[in-house]
Amino acid sequence: MTCTPTRATVAAAAAAAAAPEPHRAEFDQRYDAHLRHLRLKGLRPKTIEAYARGVRRMGEYFDHRIDALSSDQLSRYFSDLLDSHSSSSVKLDLYGYKFYTEHVLGRPWVSPTLVKAPKVQRLPDILTVEEAARLFAATRCLSYRVFFFTLYSMGLRLGEGLALRLGDIDAERMRVHVRDAKGRRDCLVPLPAASLAVLRRFWAVHRHPELLFPARAGGAVAAHRARGPLERGGVQRALARVAADIGLKKTSTPTACATAMQPT
């Protein structure tokens, strides 16, 4: 005798198949708690994303059951991860899981030396004055050209330059207040006279009441109403494109922060 499933039976089976597994739902809840704790600790956005990505990756590897992993499971996992990721990435994943263990699960961390990335010290690629001049001349967009020149002349990192505001420029003492620099510390850097002159001419174009490098959306006409600074990704893409156009080849990925102080 053959039993034909009823519509109700088929619907129930489909609903059961579509429903998330209990351990996945629990993982999602604790992952959300992980994100909340990361934000409450005031970590930088990049650190939050790295720690969150590490926990997501572990969840996928262990079928979303990561709350009771043994030391052997952890060592095997991170060992496998080293086959496809750099030691620095693996170390960030480890720190992310350590944070998850201590702040979400409320447990002490018991594997502090599970992953030890090799210590490698590399000097950044430094642009010569001639190379920098070629790069500035080839940058057609005024906002990017002034931004690149500012970073180069003051030795600033990308994020430090984007965060500059009008009030950070001390023309009387010829210095710039760089806020939340490396190590989350403020610092003062010299302001070359050439940079001050360029920045003054640039401000006369956009006239934003607060931002030194307002976003480009809307063009120069709307720059004074911009709600934020230049977009980080746009700056990086522009730099990479200009560097490629002029045949500027460096061993590291082109970034606006690996620069030398330009003589004034």
CATH of the domain at 194: 1.10.443.10
Q: Are 153 and 94 within one domain?
A: no
Of the pLDDT bands very low, low, confident and very high (cuts 50, 70, 90), residue 58 is very high
Q: Are 74 and 155 within one domain?
A: no
* CATH classification at residue 44: 1.10.150
Report the pLDDT value the prediction gives residue 153, as an integer from 0 to 100.
93
- Phi then psi for residue 231, to 5 deg, are -80, 130
The tens digit of pLDDT for each residue in 161-199 reads: 999 999 999 999 999 999 887 777 889 999 999 999 999
Report the pLDDT value the prediction gives residue 264, as an integer from 0 to 100.
36
Residue 98 domain boundaries? 20-104
Task: Determine what percent of the chain is predicted with pLDDT higher than 90.
Answer: 54
Q: Are 97 and 138 within one domain?
A: no
- Mean pLDDT, to the nearest integer, of 236-257? 74
Q: Are 87 and 161 within one domain?
A: no
**Residue 123, domain member (yes or no):** no
Residues with Cβ within 8 Å of residue 46, at least 6 apart in sequence:
none
Determine which of 89-93, 110-114, 238-242 has the lowest per-residue pLDDT on average. Answer: 110-114
**Residue 118, domain member (yes or no):** no
Structure tokens at 174: 């010829």
The tens digit of pLDDT for each residue in 152-162 reads: 999 999 999 99
Supply the pTM of this predicted model.
Answer: 0.59
Distance CA(76)–CA(57), nearest Å, equals: 14
Report the pLDDT value the prediction gives residue 120, as an integer from 0 to 100.
62
Number of domains the chain is built from? 2
Beta strand extents in the chain (DSSP E only): 169-170, 175-178, 187-190
Decide if pLDDT at 204 tops 80: yes
- Phi then psi for residue 6, to 5 deg, are -80, 165
Decide if pLDDT at 20 tops 70: no
**Residue 8, domain member (yes or no):** no
**Residue 53, domain member (yes or no):** yes
Q: Are 97 and 159 within one domain?
A: no
Range ranked top by mean pLDDT from 35-39, 83-87, 260-264: 35-39
Region of 49 (left: φ > 0; alpha: ψ -120 to 50; beta: rest) is: alpha
- Phi then psi for residue 19, to 5 deg, are -70, 140
Q: Are strands 187-190 and 175-178 parallel, antiparallel or unpaired?
A: antiparallel
Q: What is the C-alpha end-to-end distance of the chain, expressed in Å?
A: 95
**Residue 50, domain member (yes or no):** yes
**Residue 188, domain member (yes or no):** yes
**Residue 10, domain member (yes or no):** no
Decide if pLDDT at 12 tops 80: no
Q: Are 66 and 173 within one domain?
A: no
Q: Are 138 and 215 within one domain?
A: yes
Decide if pLDDT at 22 tops 90: no
Q: Are 215 and 134 within one domain?
A: yes
Distance CA(69)–CA(76), nearest Å, equals: 11
Q: Are 217 and 158 within one domain?
A: yes
Of the pLDDT bands very low, low, confident and very high (cuts 50, 70, 90), residue 11 is low
Q: Are 52 and 139 within one domain?
A: no
Distance CA(16)–CA(31), nearest Å, equals: 23
Q: Are 47 and 96 within one domain?
A: yes
Q: Could you give the residue ranges of the DSSP H alpha helices within 207-258?
A: 219-222, 232-245
Residue located via tokens 């210590």: 119
Report the pLDDT value the prediction gives residue 256, as an integer from 0 to 100.
43
Residue type, 63: D
The tens digit of pLDDT for each residue in 109-157 reads: 877 566 665 666 665 667 888 999 999 999 999 999 999 999 999 999 9
Residues with Cβ within 8 Å of residue 242, at least 6 apart in sequence:
135, 138, 139, 144, 248
Report the pLDDT value the prediction gives residue 252, as an integer from 0 to 100.
42
Q: Are 220 and 180 within one domain?
A: yes
**Residue 161, domain member (yes or no):** yes
